[in-house]
Amino acid sequence: MATDETITPKVSFSAEPIDRSRVDALVIPVLEGEKHDRGPAFAALDRALDGWLNELVQDQGFRAKACCVLSVPAPGGSTAKRYVLVGLGPAAKVDTSVIRRAHAKAVRYLAPGGQSVAIPLPGPEGSQWLGAAIEGLALGSYSFTKYRGASDDPPAEVRRILVHTSRRDETFDRAVREAQVLSSATCWARDLVNEPPGSMTPAHIAAQARRLERRPGLKVRVFGRRELERRAMGGILGVAAGSDAEPKLIHVDYRPSGRISKSIALVGKGVTFDSGGLSLKPAASMMTMKCDMAGAAAVLAAVHAASQLKLPIRVHAIVPAAENLPGPRATKPGDVLTISNGKTVEVLNTDAEGRLLLADALTYADSLRVDEVVDLATLTGACVIALGNDVAAVYSRPPELAAALRRAGEAEGEPLWEMPLVEAYKKELKSEVADLKNIGGRYAGSITAALFLAEFVKNERWAHLDIAGPAFAESLPELGPKGGTGFAVRTLVRYLIGLTDPGPSS
């Protein structure tokens, strides 16, 4: 597991025609259209094969609908072993998201084990489409096999990608490098989420974060129970009270070596297991609750990626990590916790724990005096009810911040939808005995949770992503296997890249 064991496919370029490629498979994108309209890559290969390819798709009735695949052994005389034709749908609808999903899907049709593949330069959009294709192949190659028997077939996985193009410009190398870094960061976040909760304890996330210290520009600080007590972080301590596992506040600080254009704090919810505490969850809702540290995984992976890309931005990743269990000392409904900024919270439901530990972490982030604060959390089931499993909610002050994050998400195939911070709903959080209570009423649960967090951010620029839906996939997602998805890693890093050059990649 972890950073250095995550394999990123190696990428190289070739000016040779793709039909000469000596690889395990050619992955050929095909447009949905008439015979002469299936796209330049298809046409070129078909010409080299004297019309064999065209006959094949006719015979097989392959229509090239988006992400449909036709995988065949290569005909005699070919230098490649297999042809994987992958549909892109109609030309007018092709974008980076289709390219990424199509290439991820193609990986499932390779032979088991590590594979080399050749791809043509996908389409006219140059580097952006190329980046999306590489991301698709890399993300589609992910599997979590640590606890599986060796007897299983090894999953298909791309180790080497050869990009065939006669045209080469300097933006290609950067697009490839970004795609490699973004996808390996995503896969690391997936690993952290997929790790069983018995081993992925707060101390273990801290140990994983500490490994980042070996990288230039990264410093890691970890506060344990005594330091949390000294800092009066009653929210984190209150969530951790029912567990034997020591809570941690993890701070990874990336300081670029040259000019620094901006500073940002990324705060990620790190509840390593959410049983609900004394407000215990039903068994069925608890099954996926190892995913409750997906926000933490995302911010750690993002700061790692920022350092690998040497972005000229100071990035702080802050993770409050705790286990929410109903042990003998657990926080009880009716208890009052004091957050490190002095505000008191009446805990009426111990299952609304994320906001309690985030309150301390956001207070800490504010003390770093950064230009902006972005937090990520698997915060509410209500958000899943509102937006489903594919889309995350984004809230921001001012609204421009949400819009910029949304654009970054769109560029990376991670849909975000803006939700409103409805001031009028603040009254839902009024408590009779403390400054706030930790739950609102029956309605707008994602909004009242966001309003709660807002009480702990003084920074003028703040965004909150509720990733409860897309962080963990129970049915097969398009860009990888079931389980942790690494959602928002690519969005965050693409957003950071956009802050450094407000050009077309932002």
Least distance to ligand BES, CB of residue 120, Å: 40
Q: Is residue 376 near ligand BES by the rule CB under 6 A?
A: no
**Binding at 384: pick from ligand BES, Zn ion, Mn ion, none (beta carbon under 5-8 Å per type):** ligand BES
CA distance 290 to 271: 8
β-bridge pairing 483-484 and 472-473: antiparallel
- Tokens 């400054």 belong to residue: 435
Least distance to ligand BES, CB of residue 403, Å: 25
Least distance to Mn ion, CB of residue 264, Å: 27
Is residue 430 among the annotated active site residues?
no
User: Based on the number of CB atoms within 10 Å of its own CB, is 506 exposed (0-12), middle (13-18) or buried (19 or more)?
Assistant: middle
Residues 247-276 that bind ligand BES (CB under 6 A): 274
Selected from 274, 346, 372, 375, the binder of Zn ion by CB under 5 A is 274
- Give the count of beta carbons closer than 10 Å to the beta carbon of residue 104: 27
Q: How many CA atoms lie within 13 A of 190 on its CB side?
A: 31
Q: Is residue 353 near ligand BES by the rule CB under 6 A?
A: yes
Q: Is residue 378 near ligand BES by the rule CB under 6 A?
A: yes
The answer to whether the CB of 343 falls within 8 A of the CB of 436 is yes
Least distance to ligand BES, CB of residue 407, Å: 25
Write phi, then psi, for 274 (nearest 5 degrees). Answer: -115, 95
Catalytic residue among 211, 221, 281, 407: 281
Q: Is residue 292 near Zn ion by the rule CB under 5 A?
A: yes
Piece in contact with ligand BES (CB under 6 A), picked from 19-27, 132-140, 351-359, 363-371: 351-359
Q: Look up residue 386 and give its amino acid.
A: A
Q: Is residue 349 near ligand BES by the rule CB under 6 A?
A: yes
Strands of 109-217, DSSP E: 113-120, 156-164
Selected from 242, 354, 409, 480, the binder of Zn ion by CB under 5 A is 354
Q: Is residue 455 near Zn ion by the rule CB under 5 A?
A: no
Q: Is residue 382 near ligand BES by the rule CB under 6 A?
A: yes
> Which residue is at the shortest CB distance from Mn ion?
351
Cis peptide before 398 (omega within 30 of 0): yes
175 or 382: whose CB is closer to ligand BES?
382
Is residue 407 among the annotated active site residues?
no
Q: Look up residue 379 and give its amino acid.
A: L
**Binding at 439: pick from Mn ion, ligand BES, Zn ion, none (beta carbon under 5-8 Å per type):** ligand BES
Least distance to Zn ion, CB of residue 291, Å: 9
Catalytic residue among 290, 355, 397, 406: 355
User: Based on the number of CB atoms within 10 Å of its own CB, is 425 exposed (0-12), middle (13-18) or buried (19 or more)?
Assistant: middle
32 or 414: whose CB is closer to ligand BES?
414
Q: Which helix (H) or strand (E) holds 264?
A: strand 262-268
Q: Look up residue 444 and give its amino acid.
A: A
The answer to whether the CB of 195 falls within 8 A of the CB of 273 is no
Cβ contacts of residue 459 below 8 Å, gap of 6+? 365, 366, 370, 372, 373
Q: Is residue 323 near ligand BES by the rule CB under 6 A?
A: no
Could you tell me the maximum CA-CA distance found in the chain, to the nearest angstrom? 81
Q: Is residue 346 near ligand BES by the rule CB under 6 A?
A: no
CA distance 503 to 484: 31
Contact pattern for ligand BES over residues 391 through 430, marking x by CB under 6 A: ----------------------------------------
Q: Which helix (H) or strand (E) holds 226?
A: helix 225-230
Residues that bind Zn ion (CB under 5 A): 271, 274, 292, 354
Residues that bind ligand BES (CB under 6 A): 274, 292, 349, 351-354, 378-382, 384, 439, 445, 468
* Residues that are catalytic: 281, 355
